[in-house]
Amino acid sequence: MNILITGCQGQLGNEMQLLETSYPQHRWFNTDVQELDITDQTAIEQFVAEHEIDGVVNCAGYTAVDKAEDHEQLCRLLNATAPGYLAAAAEKRGGWIIHISTDYVFDGTNHTPYVETDIPHPNSVYGCTKLAGELSVSNSCTRSMIIRTAWLYSSFGNNFVKTMIRLGKEKSELGVIFDQIGTPTYARDLASVIMTAIEKGIQPGIYHFSNEGVISWYDFAKTIHRLAGIATCHVRPLHTAEYPTPANRPHYSVLDKTKIKTVYGIEIPYWEESLKDCLEKIVEL
């Protein structure tokens, strides 16, 4: 197949590129804004037609959650309108699209893991635009697969893991929120399940994916420091109210992964094991 990857310079896009070498039977078209402006519908249609694209993996998006509160128009363009363009172009060729969404489509008031059939209720601009993107994609392409994920990190780009390592080396004390609960997702593991879906065949619908387990941001930070050998920084727990941000964040965003595990016959790594793997990659850099 000829497969278009958008957002190839992001965390997930970079991880996808590393795995592509294991699938030489496909032609991969890795693009970021320099190669393809996904907000330009005509450019997308021309690219998809010219390269006879069979499938799209949309890793692009506006992910600056707090800035989104002041830049709703741009956020909506990248997270809702553009995915619809990609999905429509795929549909025109009888192709498929895998679109990446987020736990932020929920308000975080649950006390049990969210399943795909739970009714979304976003309470931030970012979450609202990502939900609009889900609807845009599913309405525009019959063979659309939407994967909601959470707390994404990688050895590429800027993320919580790399920030905690940097601050842990710079500061003697650090406050991290303990009353927001979820599960980290190693982008390499997400890329791997995307490849599995491509190989086994796209089963349309919404899926949840993160690593296994449940922790707080505080626990995550403590474990990062322990595994990275950082012992000079005291990490103390903070309430969300002590660290106000422009955007609301879900207090509970654990995702139930039963559906994707059942449909694709996969096992998902425990979050700490994946964190160890990522830290090894960061050390190599």
CA angle, 199 then 96 then 153, to 5°: 70
57, with CB counted inside 10 A (0-12, 13-18, 19+), is buried
Quick check: 86 and 97 in contact, CB under 8 A? Answer: yes
230, with CB counted inside 10 A (0-12, 13-18, 19+), is middle
Catalytic residue among 126, 186, 207, 218: 126
114 is catalytic: no
d(CA 195, CA 242): 41
Quick check: 83 and 129 in contact, CB under 8 A? Answer: no
Which one-letter amino acid corresponds to residue 83? P
Quick check: 53 and 3 in contact, CB under 8 A? Answer: yes
Q: Minimal CA–CA distance to 105: which of 84, 120, 124, 83?
A: 120
Name the strand (E) or helix (H) holding 175: strand 173-177
d(CA 23, CA 186): 20
97's tokens:
């699209």
d(CA 250, CA 135): 21
251's tokens:
């207090």
15's tokens:
């991880």
d(CA 210, CA 46): 34
Residues forming the active site: 126
